[in-house]
Structure 1
């Protein structure tokens, strides 16, 4: 459920005061243009530092999502922005992150960002999955596949699961941001998620598949049956997303997910 975006100055005074206990006096702010999951999302400048602050009302469903981001942050790869503080005040749940000056990744064929994206995903795949409560892939997609298919998703790799280009911030390298859905599961699931976004950016299924096999050992080693089970479940997931919120881009991703299923069914195992 989207959150109505407000400016920093529209936050209750008590909430701003609580933030300034961590940051010192706020000199100026700039609201972020992108995103729909935070009520406040702003670059905040103080006398000592620049940081990124986002937050939601404590009674909004997205507050649970933000709590997942807070919980997973200490275990993320070094390229991910560090959580600096977390505070609840005046009906708001607010977090402060290390500020990165960058841009969203370009996933188009031939983009110079693609090697950086691959490096970020490989770094994540090599990061130990923490022994904390996380959603499990077999549970997340259980409603979209049969019992045999669900078993194919089991694993012990830390997954991001939403590798859209707006969740890759590029500086001199790529940084994974927006950890709303950290999940424990089979390592090849994140490459599968990324492949769909590559096709959205103009790659053919064949080209995206070949690129992923070169970049990610987990994808090269994934069984045909396992990928088939997830791909079909993911296509059903996007069908539901598009039905519930029929924006053009969501319907397009849903169609691409089915195109990928068609490709995978005919691909030699």
Structure 2
């Protein structure tokens, strides 16, 4: 559930003081409007630095999401911003990140961002998931829609929400918003981004071809991908039925289309 975005002056004084103690004197604060899961999100400017600060009221239903995001940060690849500090004060849980002055990635066909996005995902594909209790397994996340969830087993750290608004681009791509770190088969993240490529205008075949650059996708078991694609289509259909926003309806349609494409695609693997 999204929450209203608050500005600097809306924060309780103890929360503002806690931020200032860590950043130094604040000269300017720019509220960031993107994203729906933070009550406060802003670029905090000092005389010598810019820090990205996001926060959520203590006790809010989204608190577990933010706690996961903070706890997973030390294990993330360089493609993700570094968490500098985490403080609870004034009834708020606040995270201070390295600020990346960037724009969201463009996934459209022919975009120069695509090789940068691929490089960031390749970096992530080499990371094993840390043994942390809050990191769900892919088998657990999609089990309700699979007859054999073992096909998703693996040791790779997965992002699982590689939408363009979760990827920032400078001279490289940066993966942000780690609300759902997951452990599973490495080919799951390529499967996830394929739908986002299709959302941006790629055909299913072109998105599939683009993903072949990842060894995990090129060698993915056809039966496992088919099971996941069917399960993911069911998840998106469920999401769209509960909250029929146009973009969710579109994602549900794309997921169904992809599942159909994969079922009829010639396969040489298992």
TM value normalised by structure 2: 0.97
Partner of 1:100, secondary structure, is coil
Report the alpha carbon displacement of residue 228 of structure 1 after superposing the two structures with TM: 0.6
For 2:142, the equivalent position in structure 1 comes to 141
Deviation, 1:58, is 1.1
- Cα drift, residue 47 of structure 1: 2.5
Structure 1 distance, partners of 2:146, 2:62, is 26
Cross-structure match for 1:209: 208
In 1: Cα distance, 2:9 partner to 2:216 partner? 46
CA distance in 2 between counterparts of 1:80 and 1:206 reads 29
**Partner secondary structure for residue 255 of structure 1:** helix
Q: Name the residue aligned to 1:181.
A: 180
Q: Which residue pairs with 1:63 in the alignment? A: 63
Classify the secondary structure of the residue corresponding to 1:256.
helix
* Residue 219 (1) aligns with residue 220 (2): no
Distance in structure 1 (CA, Å) of the matches to 2:240 and 2:24: 43
Q: Does 1:231 align with 2:229?
A: yes
| Residues 4 and 39 in structure 2, CA contact (< 8 A), matched pair in contact too | yes
Say whether 1:168 aligns with 2:176.
Answer: no
Q: Is the 1:137–1:185 contact (alpha carbons within 8 Å) kept by the matching residues of 2?
A: yes
1:243 aligns with 2:244: no
**Secondary structure in 2 aligned to 1:26?**
coil
Contact 1:3 1:56 in 2 (8 A): no
Distance 1:60 1:203 in 2: 38
For residues 7-18 of structure 1, the aligned pairs below 5 Å read: 7-18=7-18
- Compute the TM-score of the two structures, normalised by the length of structure 1: 0.97
Q: Distance in 1 between matches of 2:100 and 2:157?
A: 23
In structure 2, the residue corresponding to 1:141 is in which secondary structure? helix
Aligned to 1:255: 253
What is the count of residue pairs matched by the alignment?
Answer: 266
In structure 2, distance between residues paired with 1:51 and 1:19: 10
Tell me if structure 2 keeps the 8 A contact 1:162–1:193. Answer: yes
Between the aligned partners of 2:244 and 2:38, the Cα distance in structure 1 is 21
Which is further off, 46-55 or 151-160?
A: 46-55
Distance in 1, matches of 2:118 and 2:182, equals 19
Moved more, 46-55 or 182-191: 46-55
- How far does residue 62 in structure 1 lie from its aligned partner after superposition? 1.1
Q: CA-to-partner distance for each residue in 1:37-68, whole Å, 9 max, x for gaps?
A: 10000000113311100011111111110100
Measure the CA separation in 1 of the matches of 2:79 and 2:159: 14
Asked if 2 retains the 8 angstrom alpha-carbon contact of 1:108 and 1:203, the reply is: yes
Runs of 4+ in 1 over 3 A off after TM superposition: none
Match of 2:96 in 1: 96
8 Å Cα contact 1:120-1:175 kept in structure 2? yes
Give the CA deviation at 1:131.
Answer: 2.3
Shift of residue 129, structure 1, vs aligned partner: 2.1
How far apart in 2 are the matches of 1:241 and 1:169? 25
Does the aligned pair in 1 maintain the 2:194–2:208 contact within 8 Å?
yes
Distance 1:92 1:187 in 2: 35
Kindly indicate whether the alpha-carbon contact (under 8 Å) linking 2:155 and 2:185 is maintained by their aligned counterparts in 1.
Answer: yes
CA distance in 2, matches of 1:79, 1:253: 26
Q: Which runs of 5+ in 1 are unaligned?
A: none
